[in-house]
């Protein structure tokens, strides 16, 4: 496995860029699918209960928009999964036994479920009973959510690898507990936070469309707009509050298993006890800060003890900073965390022991000769991935992206709570929202903000765990396929043109459908 280090760094950069491009475009479609699915299902439930033809037409309207978006999400998602084989074959080989399981379940079970019931939802209005059709609509939404579950399980495992064991004979990580992989605390938190945040995008989208109808004084869509807006506002407020709660729990888990990510999010260079939570500070977005020589980011305003509470659930809890994690530190309970250099040395010892074991095993060495090598490998395997790190600076994620993306996400999330609460308050006071043009324009303006908020969350999740493909186990440089950078660069530009064209087509079709109305 030492040969992984000789892979062209340019190929690594292009492979990362291509995967990031595909993931970003894919995530433009997925959250709207999840969020709009919930709202269209609630609307059809109203039709099932009342039998009112108005609710049927309203449900069909939102389902048409759902279908357009759903199709685009499927196309980009398939390409994303293929890239694991084309650009990340070393990664796929190393952990394919584990990572492949949730992806296979997602494709066979969840996606099949979506595809089956979405057909009934679109073509079964006059062919099946109202109850069966309603069940199909909810099962379509549930299928999309289950699909997200398995994808997020796979991603969570990369952030927090559990339920596996390395086999030196096959050179692969093999699953030891499917339940540990599928239901790890990290996976549950990631699923809840991600899916709930997707509901926010669905709610903002519906409110924006309704606001446009009210601004245009479309009388034929007035009732659709007012009633759909009310449903979306309820979903949006519940989701916004839920995202804040699950986000807090996610931050707690990150502090436990990815402390360097938390330090980058907070621009925390030197940790300690009674650590305050940074509200704002000046972190230059264009360069990595000199964390070794700076005590903290300049112009910092902070909430006393806030980070200690967030990370440890204690007012005076200890939170390590970037330098603590690089230099090593002693936890309050007396546990000594080794320095980055010691982890790198132990990682190289594990890699060397594995290489010697493989060589001697091929020469039919006896068990007594192989046993010490296996013990060295097992004792140091926890730091296996550090053996591929050349410089400890590689272990520090790009702090400006994590710092600012986290604050954009939290700031916009807070704005959504206030916005949805205001909408419901005005509805409760029976105010005529259609006359409040400033509020309607704000609703439309918040639609791109919802996507910025969501993408910012993913930036924190993925930039924050760099340089790791699998946390502490396999760095990005050892995961990429041994292919020329020119091939990946070429397909990058092809995908950029293709995905941009798909996005333009989707927006154009959606706008035409919205202008057409119910």
DSSP 377-435: HHHHGGGGGGGG-S-GGGGS--HHHHHHHHHHHHHHHHHHHHHHHHHHHHHHTT--GGG
Do 158 and 292 lie in one domain? The reply is no
The token duo for 52 is: 């009112």
Do 357 and 288 lie in one domain? The reply is no
Q: Taking the chain, what is the end-to-end CA distance rounded to the nearest angstrom?
A: 59
The answer to whether 246 and 192 have CB atoms below 8 angstroms apart is yes
Do 295 and 326 lie in one domain? The reply is yes
Query: In the chain, how long is the greatest CA-to-CA distance?
Result: 85
Q: What is the per-residue DSSP string for 344-365?
A: HHHHHHHHHHHHHHHHHHHTT-
The rounded distance, in Å, linking the Cα atoms of 21 and 14 is 10
Do 145 and 248 lie in one domain? The reply is yes
Do 156 and 15 lie in one domain? The reply is yes
If DSSP codes are grouped into helix, strand and coil, which group holds residue 278? strand
**E strand or H helix at 299:** none
* Residue 240, strand partner residues: none
**Contacts with 371 (C-beta within 8 Å, 6 or more apart), sequence order:** none
Q: What is the pTM of this model?
A: 0.89
Do 284 and 358 lie in one domain? The reply is no
The token duo for 446 is: 């918040």
Q: Which of 294, 317, 337 is the last residue of a domain?
A: 337
**Contacts with 243 (C-beta within 8 Å, 6 or more apart), sequence order:** 193, 196, 197, 200, 413
The answer to whether 147 and 114 have CB atoms below 8 angstroms apart is yes
Note whether residue 223 is domain-resident.
yes
**E strand or H helix at 474:** strand 474-475
Task: Give the total number of structural domains in the chain.
Answer: 3
Q: Which of 388, 413, 448 is the last residue of a domain?
A: 388
If DSSP codes are grouped into helix, strand and coil, which group holds residue 59? helix
The answer to whether 312 and 272 have CB atoms below 8 angstroms apart is no
pLDDT at 443: 95
Do 421 and 444 lie in one domain? The reply is yes
The answer to whether 399 and 407 have CB atoms below 8 angstroms apart is no
Residue 79 domain boundaries: 2-258+398-516
**Contacts with 498 (C-beta within 8 Å, 6 or more apart), sequence order:** none
Do 201 and 332 lie in one domain? The reply is no
The rounded distance, in Å, linking the Cα atoms of 134 and 151 is 26
If DSSP codes are grouped into helix, strand and coil, which group holds residue 480? coil
Do 127 and 233 lie in one domain? The reply is yes
Q: What are phi and psi for residue 79, nearest 5 degrees?
A: -65, -40
CA angle 173, 175, 179 (to 5 degrees): 145
Do 417 and 483 lie in one domain? The reply is yes
Note whether residue 393 is domain-resident.
no
If DSSP codes are grouped into helix, strand and coil, which group holds residue 466? coil
The rounded distance, in Å, linking the Cα atoms of 162 and 187 is 11
**E strand or H helix at 104:** helix 89-105
Do 356 and 403 lie in one domain? The reply is no
* Residue 167, strand partner residues: 172
**E strand or H helix at 280:** strand 277-280
The rounded distance, in Å, linking the Cα atoms of 107 and 74 is 11
Nearest residue to 193 (alpha-carbon basis) of 239, 150, 259: 239
**E strand or H helix at 218:** none
Do 57 and 120 lie in one domain? The reply is yes
Note whether residue 109 is domain-resident.
yes
Residue 416, Ramachandran bin (φ over 0: left; ψ between -120 and 50: alpha; else beta): alpha
- pLDDT tens by residue, the chain, 518 residues: 444 455 667 888 888 899 889 888 888 889 999 999 999 999 999 999 998 999 999 999 999 999 888 877 777 777 877 888 788 888 888 888 888 888 888 777 766 777 788 888 888 888 899 999 999 999 999 988 988 898 899 889 999 999 888 898 888 888 899 899 989 998 999 999 999 999 999 999 999 999 999 998 877 778 898 999 999 999 999 999 999 999 999 999 999 899 999 999 999 999 889 999 999 999 999 999 999 988 888 888 899 999 999 999 898 899 999 999 999 988 887 888 999 999 999 999 999 999 999 999 888 888 888 899 999 999 999 999 999 998 999 999 999 999 999 999 999 999 999 999 999 999 898 888 888 999 999 999 999 999 999 999 999 999 999 899 998 888 988 888 877 788 888 989 999 999 999 899 989 999 999 988 77
């Amino acid at each position: 496995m030492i040969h992984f280090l000789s892979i062209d760094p340019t190929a690594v950069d292009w492979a990362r860029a291509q995967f990031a491009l595909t993931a970003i475009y894919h995530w433009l479609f997925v959250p709207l699918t999840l969020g709009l699915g919930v709202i269209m299902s609630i609307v059809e439930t109203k039709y099932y209960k009342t039998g009112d033809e108005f609710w049927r037409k309203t449900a069909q309207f939102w389902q048409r928009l759902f279908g357009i978006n759903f199709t685009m999400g499927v196309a980009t998602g398939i390409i994303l999964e293929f890239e694991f084989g084309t650009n990340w074959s070393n990664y796929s080989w190393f952990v394919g036994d584990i990572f492949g399981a949730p992806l296979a379940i997602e494709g066979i079970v969840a996606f099949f479920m979506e595809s089956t019931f979405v057909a009934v939802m679109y073509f079964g209005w006059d062919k099946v009973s109202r109850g069966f059709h309603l069940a199909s609509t909810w099962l379509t939404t549930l299928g999309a959510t289950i699909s997200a579950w398995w994808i997020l399980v796979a991603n969570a495992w990369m952030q927090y690898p559990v339920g596996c064991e390395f086999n030196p004979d096959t050179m692969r990580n093999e699953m030891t507990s499917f339940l540990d992989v599928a239901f790890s605390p990290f996976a549950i938190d990631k699923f809840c936070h991600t899916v709930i945040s997707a509901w926010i995008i669905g709610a903002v989208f519906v409110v924006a469309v309704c606001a446009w109808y009210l601004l245009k004084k479309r009388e034929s869509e007035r009732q659709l707009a007012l009633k759909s807006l009310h449903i979306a506002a309820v979903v949006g407020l519940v989701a916004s509050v839920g995202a804040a709660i699950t986000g807090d729990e996610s931050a707690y888990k990150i502090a436990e298993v990815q402390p360097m990510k938390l330090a980058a999010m907070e621009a925390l260079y030197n940790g300690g006890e009674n650590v305050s939570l940074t509200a704002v500070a000046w972190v230059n977005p264009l360069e990595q800060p000199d964390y070794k020589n700076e005590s903290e980011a300049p112009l910092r305003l902070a909430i006393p003890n806030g980070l200690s509470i967030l990370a440890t659930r204690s007012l005076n809890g200890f939170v390590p900073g970037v330098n603590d994690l690089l230099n090593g530190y002693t936890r309050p309970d007396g546990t000594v965390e080794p320095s980055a250099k010691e982890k790198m040395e132990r990682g190289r010892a594990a890699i060397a022991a594995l290489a010697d074991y493989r060589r001697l095993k091929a020469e039919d060495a006896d068990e007594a000769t192989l046993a010490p090598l296996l013990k060295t490998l097992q004792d140091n395997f926890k730091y296996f991935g550090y053996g591929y790190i050349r410089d400890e600076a590689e272990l520090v994620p790009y702090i400006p992206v994590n710092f600012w993306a986290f604050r954009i996400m939290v700031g916009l999330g807070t704005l959504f709570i206030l916005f949805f609460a205001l909408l419901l308050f005005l509805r409760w006071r029976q105010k005529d929202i259609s006359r409040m043009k400033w509020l309607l324009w704000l609703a439309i303006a918040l639609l791109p903000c919802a996507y910025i908020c969501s993408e910012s969350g993913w930036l924190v999740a993925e930039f924050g765990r760099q340089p790791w493909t699998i946390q502490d186990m396999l760095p990005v440089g050892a995961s990429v396929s041994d292919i020329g950078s020119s091939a990946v660069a070429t397909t990058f530009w092809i995908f950029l043109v293709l995905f941009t064209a798909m996005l333009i087509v989707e927006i154009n079709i959606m706008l035409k459908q919205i202008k057409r109305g119910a």
